[in-house]
Amino acid sequence: MEVVVNAATSVDGKLSTRERRQVRISGDEDFDRVDRLRAAADAVLVGVGTVLADDPHLGVKSEDRRVQRLRNGRSANPARVVADSRARTPPDATLLNDDAETYLLVSEAAPPERLATLRDAGATVIEAGEEQVNLSAAFDQLETEGVDRLLVEGGGKVIFSLFEAGLVDELSVFVGSLVLGGREAPTLADGEGFVEDFPALELVGVDRLDDGVVLEYRVES
Ligand SMILES: NC(=O)c1ccc[n+]([C@@H]2O[C@H](COP(=O)([O-])OP(=O)(O)OC[C@H]3O[C@@H](n4cnc5c(N)ncnc54)[C@H](O)[C@@H]3O)[C@@H](O)[C@H]2O)c1
Ligand SMILES: Nc1nc(=O)c(N)c(NC[C@H](O)[C@H](O)[C@H](O)COP(=O)(O)O)[nH]1
């Protein structure tokens, strides 16, 4: 499976404010670029922290692109995937609506009654890992469901875990012209952090977009 990570950060590497409040970091050109990435993906993944903070939809915004997907024999929208070890996704979350299929990646620690509620709300549950989701094992199961290209839209904890597990193939980051600051504010890669064996990135693209830049990398290890 090809795993593509995309995020928008402030110039100091933050994904949002210390209150985890969404900020408009990029602009319309970047949102259109993200829409193209979504349209090219079989599924779009976020961590449950992002679901709780932003209640995202994760669908393709452009009707032309949805129509093109249907013409190509695909679903109008990519599937939605939430890394959600303890099944904390609210049953009324927007991404559980009927616009696309939704997979919840959970661990053995997820309470069975939560799983029953979320299945009733339309989710397909994939279990992998004891305490936290074992992303590598969960991705193997997603692949059997036909997910060959997965777009990851954050947040910082999930992105770090994916790098730690060596699962990232491509990374694109829109760096906006603003400073959010705050040592508690989520960054592109949170979690424990690396002290050695940092992921090796090859810079393959630099583009000016909106009032910022998009940096594109291929991940070598
Ligand atoms: N600017 C952007 O592009 C962008 C994109 C997405 C999110 N955000 C922001 O990021 C913040 C949320 O990020 P976050 O880091 O708190 O949460 P996150 O979205 O990374 O979710 C973290 C949660 O995912 C679950 N999880 C399951 N398996 C995991 C694993 N193997 N490793 C790590 N986590 C696993 C855990 O329950 C964990 O608490 C919000 O403030 C949101 O607005 C910004
Ligand atoms: N490209 C981009 N520029 C930004 O300035 C910004 N704040 C995000 N943030 C991503 C984000 O945290 C959301 O999760 C999804 O953008 C929501 O997606 P929907 O519109 O609900 O489909 N992304």
Distance between CA 185 and CA 79 in Å, rounded? 29
Contacts of 73 (CB under 8 A, 6+ apart): none
Give the CATH superfamily of 2-219: Dihydrofolate Reductase, subunit A (3.40.430.10)
pLDDT of residue 21: 87
Pocket of ligand 2, candidates 26, 55, 215: which has the most ligand atoms within 8 Å of its Cβ, to mutate? 26
CA distance 77 to 102: 11
* CB-count exposure of residue 173 (10 Å: 0-12, 13-18, 19+): middle
Nearest CA to ligand 2 atom 15: 56
> Collapsing DSSP states into helix, strand and coil, what is residue 202?
strand
pLDDT at position 22 is 87
Q: Classify burial at 187, counting beta carbons within 10 Å of its beta carbon; exposed 0-12, middle 13-18, buried 19 or more.
A: buried
Name the residue with the closest Cα to ligand 1, atom 16: 49
Is the CB of residue 161 below 6 angstroms from any atom belonging to ligand 1? yes
Nearest CA to ligand 1 atom 5: 154
User: Which pLDDT belongs to residue 82?
Assistant: 98
What is the per-residue pLDDT across 61-77, written as a single tens digit (0 to 9) for each?
A: 999 999 999 999 999 99
Task: Tell me the two tokens of residue 169.
Answer: 């193939």
Q: Is the CB of 8 under 6 A from ligand 1?
A: yes
First-to-last CA distance in the chain? 15
Whether pLDDT at 186 is above 90:
yes
- Measured in Å, residue 160 CA sits from the centre of ligand 1 at 9
Return d(Cα 48, Cα 190) in angstroms, integer: 15
Dist. CA 58–CA 25, nearest whole Å? 17
How many residues does the structure list for the chain? 221
The model's pLDDT over 3-54, given as tens digits with 9 standing for 90+, comes to 999 999 999 999 999 999 889 999 999 999 999 999 999 999 999 999 999 9
Q: How do residues 64-119 score in pLDDT, each as one tens digit?
A: 999 999 999 999 999 999 999 999 999 999 999 999 999 999 999 999 999 999 99
Average pLDDT over residues 169-183: 98
| Contact (CB, 8 A) for 74 and 40 | no
Q: Does the C-beta of 30 come closer than 6 Å to ligand 2?
A: yes
Whole-angstrom distance, CA of residue 49 vs CA of residue 16: 12
The pLDDT value given to residue 217: 98
User: What is the helix, strand, coil percentage profile of the chain, to 5?
Assistant: 25, 25, 50
pLDDT confidence of residue 53: 96
Å from CA of 52 to ligand 1 middle: 9
Q: Beta strands of 92-200 (E only): which ranges?
A: 102-106, 124-127, 149-152, 170-176
Report the predicted TM-score, pTM, of the whole model to 2 decimal places.
0.98
CB 219 within 8 A of CB 170: yes
